[in-house]
Structure 1
Amino acid sequence: MRIGLLGTGPWARIAHAPALSGHPDLDFVGVWGRRPEAAKELADEHGTRAYDDVDALIADVDAVAVALPPGVQAELAARAARAGRHLLLDKPLATTVEQGRAVVDATRETGVASVVFFTTRFFTETQAWIGEQADAGGWFTARAEWLGSVFSGADSPFADSPWRREKGALWDVGPHALSVLLPVLGDVEKVAAAAHGPGDTAHLVLRHAGGASSTLTLSLTAPEEAAGAGVELRGAHGVTSLPESPEDLDTAVRHALDALLAAADTGRAHPCDAAFALRVTEILVTAEGLLGA
């Protein structure tokens, strides 16, 4: 599969480009970015071509991997899908329902595959745990905490991200929490409550289709000593917690690329496709409305 990378920021450099250049079943054709000089630097680092025109790159590939702010991602993903290109996207898919739906509609019209990189879902051990808990059922309640120190700790490559500054933890780490909870507890029937905490911290209470409730605490302004992520489930089978994975980020991205190749080859939708990511966006838009009320 010939694949191109859209984006040149920290996530493109840290996550996408190394995995694309090292994957044995991909031809890393080139890089496009909103800053041509950054695209050339990243392309040179990985022995590929820098493109000045995004449509020229889309025309030369079978698929694109996107590492751009969600608003920019949604527009270009829909354009690439309408051109018949498969999609590896980042979370959140979009920060408006309209933009997210446009991506989903484009994938359905052309039949292209899509995989959205909810990181936790592509670690082998954590994905196995999610499947086991979904099969077990009988869950009464869940607690998810995704606490980062992007805006409060040591220098982070993501601290100056304009969209993260604007949208905060709800949109940056909220998708991670939902990507774990939804396959286990079922869809969200209602965002029952939402409240602000310190900094950009958001607290949510959700009611799920399976009958369980969940609480989420999301932050990018936690003290470094308090940072970390965890999910705890309580129900008929007792108490269980999301395990930590020994795998690294590069492995997770490669798993996502494997999933994209499989979806493109078989025509079977991946559980973390654009339609699932749109549902995550819909839930977060509702929560954002309650937080702003």
Structure 2
Amino acid sequence: MSREPIPARISTSSKVLVERQFLVTVTEPVAIAIVGVGKIARDQHLPSIASNARFRLAATASRHGGVDGVENFETIDTLLSARSDVQAVALCQPPQVRFEAAAKAIRAGRHVLLEKPPGATIAEVETLVAMARSQGVSLFATWHSRFATGVEPTREWLKGKTVRRVAVTWKEDVRRWHPGQAWIWEPGGLGVFDPGINALSIVTAILPPVHVTRATLEFPEGRDAPIAAQLTFAGESGFSATADFDWRQTGPQTWDIEVETDEGRLVLSKGGAEMLVDGKAVLADSDQEYAGIYRRFAELIEAGESDIDLSPLVHVADAFMLGRRSVVEPFED
């Protein structure tokens, strides 16, 4: 992989920060390492890397076991020290420890992919943005739900229409998706906003800007993160928007975004994989979210750009700032 400096260019919008640092010509697969080989890495990252010819899994760093046939290191420090050939890292640890790992990788000149949420705080991610700019590496704050099949067609369908009402219903079973993962109940773990932020990443991609005006957060007794949340939003466009997040749902899971407009009712269902207009399915497809993430990461590395959008995390931070706290019955995995 060769790298040719080009003039810096910063393109900003209300949602996405993209920074051009270098023009990179990829002549062979990018050697990438996964840091944190847990459930999400095994379920999504490993298959997506394996199916993308622009990447080669070169190493892992994990205290809980690596990948057969791939060198594993106990820490990211030993990985970065021993493997100068690793050009990029995908950070899949809990958000509370991600900043330190990302900072070390950036200082070592490696491109960095951040699992969602990109950090435990907004300020730490902004620090990483400045570091990546200084080091001339690509930083990608991923929002996997934005790569669901129906998200871009929904955004296109909504163009030119007047949005009147939005209702987000995002309910799932924490025991199914995060079994025994204590970090999600600790400060910085986000609780129900770990899945809820997926919905917010779609909302911020398809709708005009909104802001949180009211929130109720339900904390299980003895826990430091909420298990349910109800949010109300407002924006300059004047439409009403609500979000109902719950981590106690068993049986079928619910991941729906309903948008009423002056020209019909759209429902983005199954986490964005299915799109219905006035009750009729117009699009349905399988899960391709993480494949989309790695396609995008390859594009960023090749173009010498970074892609960081903090708007979903801003909504979560605002919900915690405005939220009325309610203590509910204890919850145990």
Q: Indicate whether the TM-score tops 0.5.
A: yes
**1:208 — aligned with what?**
235
Matched position secondary structure for 1:92: coil
Are residues 1:48 and 2:85 paired?
no
More strand by share: 2
* Aligned residue in 1 for 2:251: 224
Paired residue for 1:14, among 43, 47, 71?
43
Alpha-carbon distance in structure 1 between the residues aligned to 2:160 and 2:215: 29
Instruction: Identify the range of structure 1 (172-181 vs 12-21) with the bigger mean alpha-carbon deviation.
Output: 12-21
Q: 1:51 to 1:128 in 2, by over 3 A?
A: same
Counterpart-to-counterpart distance in 2, 1:22 and 1:113: 21
The aligned residue for residue 162 of structure 1 is 182
Moved more, 74-83 or 1-10: 74-83
- 1:29 equivalent to 2:30? Answer no
State the distance in 2 between where 1:239 and 1:7 align: 41
Does the residue aligned with 2:256 lie in a helix, a strand or coil?
strand
Q: Does residue 1:92 correspond to 2:129, yes or no?
A: no
The Cα offsets for residues 174-196 of structure 1, whole Å up to 9 and x where unpaired, read as 211111111222333x3110013
Please list the CA deviations of residues 273-292 of structure 1 after superposition, one character each: whole Å capped at 9, or x if unmatched: 33x1x332222112012225
SS in 2 for 1:173: helix
- Give the structure with the higher percent helix: 1
Percent of paired sites with the same residue: 25
* Mapped contact 2:212–2:234 kept (Cα < 8 A): yes
Q: Which amino acid aligns with 1:286?
A: D
For residues 111-138 of structure 1, give each alpha carbon's deviation from its aligned partner in whole angstroms, at most 9, with x where no partner exists.
Answer: 4323333222112x22322331453342
- Residue 49 (structure 1) shift: 0.9
Instruction: Report the counterpart of residue 109 of structure 1 in structure 2.
Output: 134
Secondary structure in 1 aligned to 2:67?
helix
Query: Which residue of the partner structure matches residue 254 of structure 1?
Result: 291
**Do the aligned residues in 2 keep the contact of 1:129 with 1:242 (CA within 8 Å)?**
no
SS at match of 1:204: strand
Please point out which of 263, 281, 293 is paired with 2:313.
Answer: 281
Letter in 2 for 1:180: I
1:197 shift after superposition: 5.1
- Alpha-carbon distance between aligned partners in 1 of 2:111 and 2:167, rounded to the nearest angstrom: 35
15-24 vs 173-182, which moves further: 15-24
Tell me which residue corresponds to 1:67. Answer: 92
Alpha carbons 2:192, 2:247 under 8 Å: kept:
no
Q: Give the corresponding residue for 1:238.
A: 264
Match of 1:174 among 180, 196, 199: 196
Provide the TM-score with structure 1 as the length reference.
0.83
Alignment map for 1:115-154 (pairs within 5 Å): 115-123=140-148, 125-151=149-175
Q: What is the aligned partner in structure 1 of residue 323 from structure 2?
A: 291
Q: 1:80 to 1:159 in 2, by over 3 A?
A: same
Paired residue for 2:103? 78
Is the Cα contact below 8 Å between 1:31 and 1:43 reproduced in 2? yes
Bigger CA radius of gyration: 2
- 1: CA distance between counterparts of 2:33 and 2:118? 18
Q: Equivalent residue for 2:27?
A: none
TM-score (norm 2): 0.74
**Residue 89 of structure 2 contacts residue 112 of structure 2 at CA under 8 Å; is this kept in 1?**
yes
Cα distance, 1:144 vs. partner?
0.9
Counterpart-to-counterpart distance in 2, 1:143 and 1:169: 21
- Asked if the contact 1:92/1:171 (under 8 Å) is kept, the reply is no
User: Distance between the aligned counterparts of 2:317 and 2:75, measured in 1?
Assistant: 32
What is the rounded CA distance, in whole Å, between the counterparts of 1:207 and 1:129 in structure 2?
Answer: 24
- CA deviation profile, 1:55-111 (whole Å, cap 9, x unmatched): 343343111111110111222123222333222221111222222222222223234
Contact preservation (8 Å) 1:170, 1:284 = no
For structure 1, list consecutive stretches of 5 or more residues without a partner in the other structure.
Answer: none
Deviations 1:193-230 (A, max 9, x none): 001359611000112344433111111112324x2100
**Distance 1:282-1:263 versus aligned 2 partners, 3 A rule:** same
Distance 1:130 1:163 in 2: 34
